[in-house]
Structure 1
Amino acid sequence: MLADLRTLVEIESPSRDLDALAASAEAVATVIENRLGGQAVLIVNEGGTHVHWAGGGEPRVLILGHHDTVFPLGTLARRPFTVADGRASGPGVFDMLGGLVQAVHGLAALDDRSGVEILVTADEEVGSFSSRALIEERARACGAVLVFEGAADGGGLKTARKGCGAFQVSIAGRASHAGLEPEAGVNALVEAAYQVLDIAALSRPELGTSVTPTVASAGTLENVVPAEATVVVDVRVESAEERERVEAAFAGLAPHVDGARITVEGSVGRPPMPASAAAELFLLAQQLQPGIEAKAVGGGSDGNFTAAVGVPTLDGLGAVGGGAHADHEYVVIDAMAERARLAAGLVQAIRNAPRA
């Protein structure tokens, strides 16, 4: 497993870099074919190169993951793949190359791999816009989804996720000389300040809703009234009702400064994943590994999409570790074999159960 993990980590795969993603997909396909046999199919579209493998027979379970990472080319030179003190580290080890390796090796332990499909996408970190339809199609065909994103704290499984999305609020004002005639301008920065306060007030922590302005920009020079400004906002919701409320509120944002104009783009693109979607599959996991915990988390994954179309989905089956998207990202080596066995056991249990 460590050898395969090294192979995948050492081929950098930042989202939106189509050449890098193509090389990474080739490596993922090779690992799958070497361990499981058969042929992995490369699916190329505007989001990158996705990898699909099928074990034959009636599809019963979809192994879902992604091979794109958030780290730019060159990160590996600064932070190479390293094994030390019981941990493996390097860009993408936890989110989520370690989980992919565990899933493949878990399946390799099974003599019969029929009914299993693997889908590894190339654009999860940037919204899965090019892969969402394929993800939903294969989830419906299989009837159960196991997502190999990194485990929750302490190795728990992710049984509920918030819906998440991003909005960009663009403000158009009018430039003027800040000293000679500031009153002739329409200050987009002042309007942005009003909008940040209005937007932040949309949060409802008691309902699990966070609306967080994260990036802002405005202005050109210190003596020019800003004619343009933008505010980028991260949104997380636990319910469809809150998703609708927040989206309606963004659509209804109104200017405070006379003459300012507002344009809003974005949505809550990943619907919430309710705990009910994972209930049956989590019971199977508990039987295989008594004491394993269920965790609800704020981050989204492609499991949000499969749960939203009514397919039972269990997430967080990947590596035990931490530091996703950070320089200290790592996986716990001693947990890798146990998680691979859990993957194999879940596949067996799903195939043995009568299909709903």
Structure 2
Amino acid sequence: MSDLLNYLKEHSNQITDTLLRLTKAESPSHTKGLVDNCGKVLREEYEKLLGNSVEMIEKTEVGNQYKFTYGTGDEEGQILVIGHIDTVWDEGALPIRQEGNLLYGPGVFDMKGGLTITLWALKALKETGVPLNRKITFLVTTDEEVGSTHSKEIILAEAEKSSVVFVPESSIGPDGAVKTERKGAAQFLMKIEGIAGHAGINAWDGASAIEELAHQILDLKKLANRDEGISVNVGVVNGGTRGNVIAKEAVAEIDVRITKKAQAEKISEAICNRPIFVKGTKVEVLGEIDRYPLERTEPVIQLYEDLKEIASAHGYELKEGSSGGASDGNFTSGIGIPTIDGMGPLGDGAHTEQEHVDLSNLPYRAALMAEIIKKYANK
């Protein structure tokens, strides 16, 4: 057994205590006061475990963000770990309970378990005296669940200084596979302007925005390609005023997912430059590719192979998988920084009432993080 894993197993109860404190500090994305309180708890845990100073990045519209650093190496070529403390759960919406080794609660899997194992990975590196030749930066944001609008800039700035990025987001349940692929995502807003008229008296004089929208939806679906991993979903539509009025306006919200960066420009152009099907209507589309895919490139495969070797030495097989959802790891991968995601602990049920983590897995996942940081910080 490695010194790091041995240390973490000896402190399994304390690791659980850290996760409980973070989980009890509920942090729904849109409630800044609660998110800030959770950030304070995280900061206190970091200072207690590592004794290092912390940089707080103050925000007005979302919770304050944190940049934790460890080690004395140069920032250029640093090891970057990124996570978030905001959750999808309103305060009190999900009770915290423990059943055997399983801990249930709001954000426990997505992604306070990942924050916990990162803190303890750094603690283990410190206490076992592992020398590190690169600085470790642990960036914790507060709006990932609502689009990362207020954190994207700092994520990209830190990524540009980094040699590799680890994302302790929720693993792929139920066997804890890491994510070597994530789809890219984009949201578009389609606005259609028609010509209003009386549906009975002037039935042929108007131009229905809703009719145009119906044509657009069917045409947009032609852009989807299951074999290439491209999906197009029109998830929200609105339009018209009354049944006897030809609709002057209609809008639609469009979600697009892609698997390759090379697909982005083509799909974006096809959605933004629309043909007109109903004479007299006008179509405007706003939006762009927000997150490029996290692709399974050679550097990502190497990261996975290194993790798999560490896991094997710890007595288990680490699997890999892909996700249709996006994370902040998409930003870092999108600018070419080798990124591997889903490094959080074994668990399942993200965003559901069954959200949970396996407490017995926390030391193993923390050791996995510690060992991979050790390897890449000393390359």
What is the alpha-carbon distance in structure 2 between the residues aligned to residue 261 and residue 326 of structure 1?
A: 40
What's the counterpart of residue 32 of structure 1? 46
> Compared with structure 1, are the counterparts of its residues 22 and 180 closer, same or farther at alpha carbon in structure 2 (3 Å cutoff)?
farther
What's the counterpart of residue 285 of structure 1? 307
Counterpart secondary structure, 1:231: strand
Once structures 1 and 2 are overlaid, which stretch shifts more, 22-31 or 9-18?
Answer: 9-18
What's the counterpart of residue 10 of structure 2? none
Does structure 2 retain, via aligned residues, the 8 Å contact 1:28–1:51?
no
What's the counterpart of residue 209 of structure 1? 230
Structure 2's unaligned 5+ residue stretches are: 1-14
Counterpart secondary structure, 1:247: helix
Does structure 2 retain, via aligned residues, the 8 Å contact 1:29–1:41?
no
- 1:14 maps to 2:32: no
2:347 partner amino acid: G
Q: TM-score, normalised by structure 2?
A: 0.86
What is the alpha-carbon distance in structure 2 between the residues aligned to residue 94 and residue 5 of structure 1?
A: 10
What's the counterpart of residue 2 of structure 1? 16
Deviations 1:99-142 (A, max 9, x none): 11111112211225752211011122222222222112222323
Counterpart secondary structure, 1:128: coil
Once structures 1 and 2 are overlaid, which stretch shifts more, 244-253 or 168-177?
Answer: 168-177
What is the alpha-carbon distance in structure 1 between the residues aligned to residue 31 and residue 362 of structure 2?
A: 29
- 1:62 maps to 2:80: yes
Q: How does 1:44-63 map to 2 (within 5 A)?
A: 44-45=58-59, 46-58=61-73, 59=75, 60-63=78-81
What's the counterpart of residue 344 of structure 1? 370
Deviations 1:10-35 (A, max 9, x none): 33323343333322322222222222
Counterpart secondary structure, 2:28: coil
1:117 partner amino acid: T
Once structures 1 and 2 are overlaid, which stretch shifts more, 54-63 or 267-276?
Answer: 54-63
> Compared with structure 1, are the counterparts of its residues 187 and 52 closer, same or farther at alpha carbon in structure 2 (3 Å cutoff)?
same
Counterpart secondary structure, 2:217: helix
Deviation of the 1:4 alpha carbon: 2.2
Deviations 1:300-354 (A, max 9, x none): 111112122222212110122222222222212222221111111111111222x
What is the alpha-carbon distance in structure 2 between the residues aligned to residue 131 and residue 281 of structure 1?
A: 25
What's the counterpart of residue 104 of structure 1? 119
Once structures 1 and 2 are overlaid, which stretch shifts more, 175-184 or 137-146?
Answer: 175-184
- 1:187 maps to 2:208: yes
Q: RMSD of aligned C-alpha atoms?
A: 2.0
- 1:160 maps to 2:181: yes
Counterpart secondary structure, 1:205: coil
Counterpart secondary structure, 1:272: coil
Q: TM-score, normalised by structure 1?
A: 0.91
1:308 partner amino acid: G
What is the alpha-carbon distance in structure 2 between the residues aligned to residue 242 and residue 16 of structure 1?
A: 33
Deviation of the 1:237 alpha carbon: 0.8
What's the counterpart of residue 116 of structure 1? 136
- 1:140 maps to 2:166: no
Does structure 2 retain, via aligned residues, the 8 Å contact 1:47–1:129?
no
Deviation of the 1:40 alpha carbon: 2.0
- 1:313 maps to 2:336: no
Instruction: Report sequence identity in percent.
Output: 33
> Compared with structure 1, are the counterparts of its residues 178 and 25 closer, same or farther at alpha carbon in structure 2 (3 Å cutoff)?
farther
Deviation of the 1:6 alpha carbon: 2.5
Does structure 2 retain, via aligned residues, the 8 Å contact 1:25–1:42?
no
2:103 partner amino acid: A
What is the alpha-carbon distance in structure 2 between the residues aligned to residue 124 and residue 78 of structure 1?
A: 19
What is the alpha-carbon distance in structure 2 between the residues aligned to residue 70 and residue 266 of structure 1?
A: 24
- Match of residue 37, structure 2, among 23, 28, 34: 23
Deviation of the 1:156 alpha carbon: 0.9
Deviations 1:156-201 (A, max 9, x none): 1111212111111111223334344444433222211111111111
Deviations 1:212-257 (A, max 9, x none): 1112222333333332222111111111221111101012112212
> Compared with structure 1, are the counterparts of its residues 255 and 10 closer, same or farther at alpha carbon in structure 2 (3 Å cutoff)?
farther
Deviation of the 1:155 alpha carbon: 0.9
1:24 partner amino acid: C
Q: How does 1:65-76 map to 2 (within 5 A)?
A: 65-71=83-89, 73-74=90-91
> Compared with structure 1, are the counterparts of its residues 310 and 33 closer, same or farther at alpha carbon in structure 2 (3 Å cutoff)?
same
Once structures 1 and 2 are overlaid, which stretch shifts more, 57-66 or 242-251?
Answer: 57-66
What's the counterpart of residue 231 of structure 1? 252
Structure 1's unaligned 5+ residue stretches are: none
2:180 partner amino acid: T
- 1:170 maps to 2:191: yes
What is the alpha-carbon distance in structure 2 between the residues aligned to residue 295 and residue 105 of structure 1?
A: 25
